[in-house]
Amino acid sequence: MPLNSYFLQGSQSEQRLVQDLINEQLKIYGQDVIYLPRKMVNQDAILNEAIATQFDDSFRMEMYLANYEGFAGNGDILSKFGVQSTDQITLIVSKERYEDFISPFLAGEDVLVSSRPSEGDLIYLPLDNTIFEIKYVEAKKPFYQLNKLFVYQLSCEVFDAAQDELVDTGIEEVDVAVSDFLFTTKLTMVGLGASTATATMQRATDLSGLASGSSVNQIDLINDGTGYTVPPTIGISTAPINGINASAVAVMTRRSGQVGQSIDRIDIINPGFGYTEPPVITIRSQNEYGTGAAATAIINEGSLGLPSITNSGVGYGSTPTVGITTAPPGGINATAVAVVNVYGELSAIRYTNAGAGYTLAPNVTISAPATGINTDNYLYGELVRGVSTGTTAYVHRWDSDTGVLQVTNTTSNFAIGEAVVGIGTTQNGSDARRIIQSISDQDEYDEYADNIEVESEADDILDFTEKNPFGEF
């Protein structure tokens, strides 16, 4: 027989010996790395592509770094997008060790492959504090020694993170390292603080040169309409000469099974003064959508006039209540609602009823901001939402000392001045609330990049504020 008869060429004992020797060599000459399996969050069912992925698990194990002369690849290169690292490494991992210590924990998880290392998984190399992504897994090198495969050979490249990848392994050094590779939006935040708003109200007659007259103290809906996509314009016929024109705004609602929106109520911005008969109310859609709404005005003497905000306050996370002194006997009590802007400040007071029969200016009280609002600490990995724009993103780093919030996977653009609220998940949310002072999309990972300096110098040569600086005016 051509083969050596003193060896079995693939017996279990021989294979066991080789596997043990390989495992021991990897423990002697290998490197401790952290393996991060890629899990699917959202996947395109048609193209079978990952829309969003996450790395929320980690495994520490030994791997042999085959690149004994240094990193492969083209190193750091200067491209039109700045300095890019193209380092590549080849890692050797024991097939047995992977199947015993990683595969069982991935069974049932939403991963591409649980039985072997998978392309797209990440490896953190503490030696260089760098994240590598597995690009190819070679399972047949060496090729069937003793009729068995003993190792996986992993070809890896420096991780080029996308916005739709969320990393939350619970290991700080790994999470921080990954966040440095992600493209993030940096939001500089300022605290809301807290102070109570104040306002005053006068009788409508005290604000006019007329001795007598009535004001619009209430607007009743006859028909709330349907199909509106934006609040319609509320028109009120002009007051007599020397009077004060009334103004109002529609508050919308969406009813179950309805297409578009309807008018829930009409709030009075300014009750006006000097009306001798109820003015005509017209409701006009701001676009081609919405129709059918109609309303009538009710006028009375002794109504209140345009409110005056003396202190807008700060820190309102929800709409405060407005209290107004009751009217004298026989009168109608005035009621009003507050409007809060994106800064958490009181921006307006609108009447739901301007009252009647007031002989003196009433006292106005506005409730204080809610207590217990956490304005300091966003949670890593939680979902945050911009109050005014509705933009959502995931927290990738929060520095309470500098007030810098780095977010990724943004759905739109945040706006300066809006509040950003930590809404977390269904299980966990910080409820943190702060105001955006400035926004930066500049990738500041590469300390050697001079993108900002180059752009500043280029602005002195070409005016890039024009969409086409080389075309005609």
Question: Residue 5: is it exposed, middle or buried by C-beta count within 10 angstroms (0-12/13-18/19+)?
Answer: exposed
Q: Are 189 and 403 in contact (CB under 8 A)?
A: yes
d(CA 226, CA 229): 9
Q: Are 148 and 11 in contact (CB under 8 A)?
A: no
Instruction: Place 53 in a pLDDT band, splitting at 50, 70 and 90.
Output: confident
Residue 29 falls in which region: left (phi positive, over 0), alpha (psi -120 to 50) or beta: alpha
Q: Are 221 and 266 in contact (CB under 8 A)?
A: yes
Question: Residue 259: is it exposed, middle or buried by C-beta count within 10 angstroms (0-12/13-18/19+)?
Answer: exposed
Tell me what the pLDDT averaged over the chain comes to. Answer: 83
Q: Are 246 and 266 in contact (CB under 8 A)?
A: no
> Is 372's pLDDT higher than 50?
no
At 371 the pLDDT is: 55
Q: Are 380 and 398 in contact (CB under 8 A)?
A: yes
At 273 the pLDDT is: 93
Return the structure tokens found at 378. Answer: 């966003």
> Is 306's pLDDT higher than 70?
yes
> Is 1's pLDDT higher than 60?
no
Q: Where are the domains of the chain?
A: 12-180, 198-366, 374-441
Q: State what percent of residues in the chain have pLDDT above 70.
A: 80
262-270: strand order across its sheet: 247-253, 262-270, 346-353, 335-340
- The larger pLDDT score, comparing residue 133 to residue 425, is at 133
Name which of 195, 189, 34 is nearest 121 in CA terms: 34
